[in-house]
Structure 1
Amino acid sequence: MKEPKFNDVAAEPVSASSMSRKVALLFAITCGLAVANIYYAQPLLDAISSEFGITHSSVGIVITVTQICYALGLLLLVPLGDLLNRRWLIAGQMLVSVLALIIVGTAPTSMVLFIGIATVGLLAVVTQTLVAFAATLAAPAERGRTVGVVTSGIVIGILLARTFAGALTDLAGWRSVYLVSAGLTLIMAGVLFRVLPQSEPRRESLSYPQLLRSLFTLFAQERLLRIRAVLCLLIFTAFSILWTSLVLPLSAPPLSLSHTAIGAFGLAGVTGALAAARAGRLADRGLGQKTTGVALTLLLISWLPISYTPHSLLALIIGIILLDLAVQAVHVTNQSMILNLRPEARSRLTAGYMVFYSIGSATGSIASTSMYAYSGWSGVCLLGATVSALALIFWALTRHMK
């Protein structure tokens, strides 16, 4: 099959070899911007709580609603990448996201806020359409590396969302975060529409209901997909346990940090995101299981320094680096392994896998804020360590299964 032609950011023809660099980098930037939209709220929970009168024990529902709708988008929208032209699908989702972000940024009531946040979550799944697209366009020997580069953009977007949101909130209020993002998303939609290939290989002739049913068939047929999906759920539960509740002890006495300072902790986690391409290369070399085991061990260890947060911010930074490195390595390895299963169904494989990401993120968000209200930061850390230990045990029991 002839490989599609690409344009770089200036819309000039580039060779297939440069696609893995320039276009993968553009995919990574776009994914980072899109996924950041559902994480801006995490360092802003106290500001949103104050403005709309939501209690600290319940404010995690803002994140939970976003993640639930993200999961719905994974089920209902991402599989369309195996059926429709991805160029139009991606650009269309991003344009509607612009409207949703404006609604959040101008919400007069908590009900309008939840509607806007829910829509933002639903449409942020454009990131997964881009991941599946990147895997399709990459050469087989470089697929893990390419997925790693694109996924690194996603994790950097998640982490820097906190820094960006915290700084902008201190300057212009929390609403400005969503309005600025709306403008950036509009710009990127136009750039991507020019860069993505205009035509794609002919697809299977499936109706939309058949497409959705086939998603469940894939789970029934592919054991590796089921195993890696469970690992995804557990690692992102742990990830969300930390990042959703972290704003609470950092903003409370005696630390009483500003939004900018709290958001800056996301910078510590960028180290983990930058390891994504390396994890993908290891998966390309058949070392996915070993990479997973080492990363899950680091994930469990990370909760020890994190538990010292009220006494040492340096310990927190060390813990964040370890946790994000571990989560990112497992996530990239998971995707590299499952996207090789069925080339014709990469959007559906991505959708099915990422549903478990949303379930984990939503579970971690609501559990962590509830745990913090019940037993403080020590309870949050115990919860995170327990989930991390379960992930390591599950991997050890299933690592020889194929």
Structure 2
Amino acid sequence: MTPRTRGGRTAPAGGAGDAPAAGTPLGRRLTLLLALTCAFAVGNLYFPQALTPLVAADLGVAADTASATVTATQAGYTAGMFLLVPLGDRLAYRPFLVVLLVLTGGGLLAAGCAPTLPLLVAASALVGFTTVAAQVIGPMAAGLVPADRRGAVLGTLLSGSIGGMLLARAFGGTLGEAAGWRAPYLVAAALVLALALVLARALRTTAPAPPGAADRSYPSLLAEAPRLLRAEPDLRRSALQQAAVFGGFSAIWTCLALLLTGPAYGLGAPAVGLLALVGGATMLCTPFAGRLVDRHGPDPVNRVCALGVLLAAAVLAAGVLGGTPGLIALFAGTLMLDIALQAGSVANQARVYALRDDARSRLNTAYMSCAYLGGTLGSWLGTRAYALTGWWGVCALVALLALLPLALTRGRAVPARQPPH
């Protein structure tokens, strides 16, 4: 097999993209089970966003103080991306995934039983830290299928992640309103622990670790992500772009519950979950975005997405009007923001995964750690902006964050990727 030349460098022959590794054949049922696992893992990050007002009322704290649970979950997830996901290059996938799910279930159980906000925040950080299964499943699945099925399988997993993100807020808001904020945590704990048992039986064998992985020490695995960020300019650019857009996304959704349950609307927590369902259109838009990336390259798609975020911020600002006009603006603005986030993610991941076939897991760790660090910072800045200036300030923050992807793509003409010869 002839080594491939890319950007002046020679990629090793026989890399991760050439042939599936030996292990469990990834049939339709197992693919759907893994997609469901991705949905549960990602959903654990988002259902607490709809519970902030309920937590505040029950524990007797201010709403912006209760939003620390959301920030803690995202901060824990960022830490888990950096500290746990690289172990996927060293450990067997089956026990690794099962242990992660069991720990996540324990964290959810602790959160649902937490008597005080500090303990809830600590449990939320644990949930975020361990619910990184989706980022472990992606590289595993890529090694278990032939090249002509890889795109379809990864697309199915991404659909599961998006579905989990969208349905989680509806699940949290509706169940929380009916049975209290603890109920979503306890139900999620039971479902995740049951899924761990099913996955342990279904995934009886796993793909072997990459050659030489057992010889890598844990510190060397952790050091790889910062090293890749230094060595790969396109990785840095993709990470910054996604961190900025995801920061705006997190700011909006962290504060949206405060707006809808406040005096402007006076709605209950389920309204946040129902509003989130409008983002279901993103599951249809991401395949189209992928085709655009193949045809025109990542930068034009990212540029359009950044402009979409700017427009979404302007539309969302009309949410201060309240009533029907405000709700229409919130529906339209959140839909635009969701589509821009997911389409930009497709563009950035396409660029990142094309950098080095032999280091996709570590590239993913570096990229996603930066993205969720941006999301964590966006949640924190959003709550500060809302406390100081209200909804207008949050929308202004989103618009400012959208300027970074525009600046990073300005004037760049990236040719479309050509199929290998």
1-structure distance, mates of 2:106, 2:312: 39
Q: For 1:60-79, what aligned pairs fall within 5 Å after superposition?
A: 60-79=67-86
Aligned residues: 391
1-structure distance, mates of 2:67, 2:303: 31
- 1:248 and 1:275, CA in 2 relative to 1: closer, same or farther beyond 3 A? same
1-structure distance, mates of 2:400, 2:78: 24
2-structure distance, mates of 1:366, 1:207: 34
Q: Cα offset for 1:23?
A: 4.0
Identity across the alignment (%):
36
Relative contact order, higher structure (CA 8 A, sep 6+) = 1
User: 1:336-358: per-residue Cα shift (whole Å, max 9, x none)?
Assistant: 22123223322211111111122
Contact (CA 8 Å) 1:227, 1:398: kept in 2 or not?
no
Q: For 1:308-327, what aligned pairs fall within 5 Å after superposition?
A: 308-311=318-321, 312=325, 313-327=327-341
Give the TM-score taking structure 1 as reference length. Answer: 0.90
Contact (CA 8 Å) 1:49, 1:59: kept in 2 or not?
yes
1:329 aligns with 2:336: no
- Equivalent of residue 347 in structure 1, options 326, 337, 361: 361
Structure 2 residue aligned with 1:359: 373
User: 1:11-55: per-residue Cα shift (whole Å, max 9, x none)?
Assistant: xxxxx6xx4x55443322211111111222111111112222332
**Uncovered stretches (5+) of structure 2, i.e. residues with no partner:** 1-18
1-structure distance, mates of 2:137, 2:286: 16
For 2:54, the aligned partner's letter is: A
Q: Cα offset for 1:244?
A: 0.5
SS in 2 for 1:84: coil
- 1:2 and 1:274, CA in 2 relative to 1: closer, same or farther beyond 3 A? closer
Q: Cα offset for 1:80?
A: 0.5
Q: Tell which deviates more after alignment, 118-127 or 282-291.
A: 282-291
Q: Tell which deviates more after alignment, 276-285 or 59-68.
A: 276-285
SS in 2 for 1:57: helix
Q: For 1:31-70, what aligned pairs fall within 5 Å after superposition?
A: 31-70=38-77
1:290 aligns with 2:300: yes
For 1:263, the aligned partner's letter is: G
- 1:281 and 1:95, CA in 2 relative to 1: closer, same or farther beyond 3 A? farther
Q: For 1:175-254, what aligned pairs fall within 5 Å after superposition?
A: 175-196=182-203, 198-203=205-210, 204=212, 205-254=215-264
Structure 2 residue aligned with 1:303: 313
Q: Cα offset for 1:3?
A: 4.4
Contact (CA 8 Å) 1:299, 1:323: kept in 2 or not?
yes
- Equivalent of residue 166 in structure 2, options 159, 163, 176: 159
Contact (CA 8 Å) 1:43, 1:162: kept in 2 or not?
yes
1:97 aligns with 2:104: yes
- 1:28 and 1:277, CA in 2 relative to 1: closer, same or farther beyond 3 A? farther
Q: Would you identify which runs of 4 or more consecutive aligned residues in structure 1 move more than 6 Å?
A: none
Q: Cα offset for 1:145?
A: 4.9
Q: Cα offset for 1:131?
A: 2.1
SS in 2 for 1:39: helix
Tell me the C-alpha RMSD between the 2 structures.
2.3
- 1:227 and 1:143, CA in 2 relative to 1: closer, same or farther beyond 3 A? farther
1-structure distance, mates of 2:201, 2:291: 30
Q: For 1:110-149, what aligned pairs fall within 5 Å after superposition?
A: 110-140=117-147, 143-149=150-156
Contact (CA 8 Å) 2:109, 2:189: kept in 1 or not?
yes
Structure 2 residue aligned with 1:372: 386
Q: Tell which deviates more after alignment, 46-55 or 362-371.
A: 46-55
For 1:188, the aligned partner's letter is: L
User: 1:318-365: per-residue Cα shift (whole Å, max 9, x none)?
Assistant: 111111011001112212221232233222111111111221111111
2-structure distance, mates of 1:289, 1:228: 9
For 2:319, the aligned partner's letter is: T
For 2:43, the aligned partner's letter is: A
Q: Cα offset for 1:281?
A: 4.0
SS in 1 for 2:64: coil
Contact (CA 8 Å) 1:148, 1:280: kept in 2 or not?
no
2-structure distance, mates of 1:202, 1:33: 25
Contact (CA 8 Å) 1:4, 1:197: kept in 2 or not?
no
Contact (CA 8 Å) 1:146, 1:280: kept in 2 or not?
no
- 1:150 and 1:279, CA in 2 relative to 1: closer, same or farther beyond 3 A? farther
Q: Tell which deviates more after alignment, 383-392 or 49-58.
A: 49-58
